[in-house]
């Protein structure tokens, strides 16, 4: 009897591979990583290509306890990238993580197959050299989201030099003439551009539309469009005027813009007119009318 009883006792490590896979598919990244620590057979399942081909490594969904500690978060991220075996295709940083050169390059070395990078934040501490080195390691990059105007031009130039399949850009910092010129010069084959909820210089918008011949989709929803270069001659344009602004353009990309002045338009205007003290970017950069750019 006793022997018969023992023969029915099963060890966790002997669980069926396919069953474990189905269970692990439902876990968030933190629980998923914790599961890999249980035993070598569970870790083997966690390293399966199937997981990583479908999964974005999204730091915004990690627990607040983890994201409050940068060193702990970086260690966790490195381990998750080890589990992925370099197969991760999409990486989404959290807004408040102070990314430095060493972190960016280290992560780039562990994710050579990256196709989409979302790098939000206003206080990134990465240098031109750090950006160039990381982008050289990410030659297959196809899409990027940036929220910091100070580094946007460096990223654009590095991507233009290294990433042949790049086609999709989202910018949620000021879309200036300088950024538009960098796009025209370094990414002339850009097909998709989202500037949603961003302060957009009118001349920069015209430059991008007229001089990016491959541009197919342009999202200017909830934008704050301004003309003039000095405080005394600044002009604000409504989104309904966008087609008029672009009226002279012969080949127009698919334009996504607000048909009415919506609540989000109001929020962006309040921020740009400095009526509101808080910065709404963190709340709105994840959203987008273009499905592939949503978080
Ligand atoms: Zn709107």
Cβ contacts of 254 within 8 Å, gap of 6 or more: 216, 217, 218
CA of 231 to the centre of ligand 1 (A): 25
Give burial (CB, 10 Å; 0-12/13-18/19+) of 101: middle
Portion of the chain with pLDDT greater than 90, in percent: 36
CA of 255 to the centre of ligand 1 (A): 14
Q: Which two tokens stand for residue 5?
A: 């009883």
CA of 259 to the centre of ligand 1 (A): 8
Long-range CB pairs of 276-283 (<8 Å, 24+ gap) are 279/122, 280/197, 281/122, 281/147, 281/172, 281/197, 282/95, 282/120
Beta-bridged to residue 217, according to DSSP, are 192, 254
Q: Going from the N-terminus, what domains does the chain have, and what CATH number goes with each?
A: 1-46 (no CATH), 56-284 (3.80.10.10)
CA of 211 to the centre of ligand 1 (A): 26
Q: Quick one: average pLDDT of 167-179?
A: 92
CA of 195 to the centre of ligand 1 (A): 12
Q: Note the pLDDT tens digit of each residue in 188-224.
A: 999 999 999 888 999 999 999 989 999 999 999 999 8
Q: Note the pLDDT tens digit of each residue in 92-151.
A: 888 777 788 998 999 999 999 999 999 987 667 899 999 999 999 999 999 999 988 888
CA of 37 to the centre of ligand 1 (A): 46
| Alpha-carbon distances, residue 210 vs 25, 41, 229, 278 (angstroms) | 45, 56, 21, 35
* Best CA proximity match to 93, nearest among 50, 124, 71: 124
Q: CA 284 from chain center: how many Å?
A: 13
CA of 262 to the centre of ligand 1 (A): 4
């Amino acid at each position: 009897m006793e022997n018969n009883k023992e023969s029915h006792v099963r060890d966790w490590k002997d669980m069926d591979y396919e069953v474990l896979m189905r269970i692990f598919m439902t876990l968030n990244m933190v629980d998923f990583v914790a599961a890999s620590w249980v035993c070598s057979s569970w870790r083997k399942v966690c390293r399966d290509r199937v997981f990583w081909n479908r999964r974005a490594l999204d730091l915004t969904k990690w627990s607040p306890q983890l994201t409050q500690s940068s060193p702990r978060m970086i260690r966790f991220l490195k381990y998750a990238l080890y589990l992925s075996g370099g197969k991760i295709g999409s990486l989404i940083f959290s807004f408040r993580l102070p990314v430095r050169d060493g972190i960016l390059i280290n992560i780039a070395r562990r994710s050579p197959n990256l196709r989409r990078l979302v790098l939000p934040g206003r206080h990134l501490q990465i240098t031109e050299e750090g950006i160039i080195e990381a982008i050289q390691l990410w030659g297959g990059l196809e899409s990027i989201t940036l929220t910091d105007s100070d580094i946007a031009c460096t990223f654009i130039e590095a991507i233009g030099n290294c990433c042949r399949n790049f086609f999709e850009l989202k910018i949620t910092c000021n879309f200036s003439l300088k950024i538009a010129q960098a796009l025209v010069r370094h990414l002339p084959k850009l097909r998709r551009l989202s500037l949603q909820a961003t302060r957009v210089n009118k001349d920069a918008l015209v430059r991008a539309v007229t001089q990016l011949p491959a541009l197919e989709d342009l999202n200017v929803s909830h934008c704050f469009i301004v003309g003039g270069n000095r405080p005394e001659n600044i002009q604000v344009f409504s989104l309904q005027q966008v087609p008029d602004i672009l009226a002279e353009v012969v080949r127009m990309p698919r334009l996504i813009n607000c048909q009415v002045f919506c609540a989000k338009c109001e929020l962006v205007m309040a921020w740009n007119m400095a009526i509101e003290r808080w910065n709404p970017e963190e709340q709105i950069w994840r959203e987008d009318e273009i499905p592939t750019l949503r978080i």
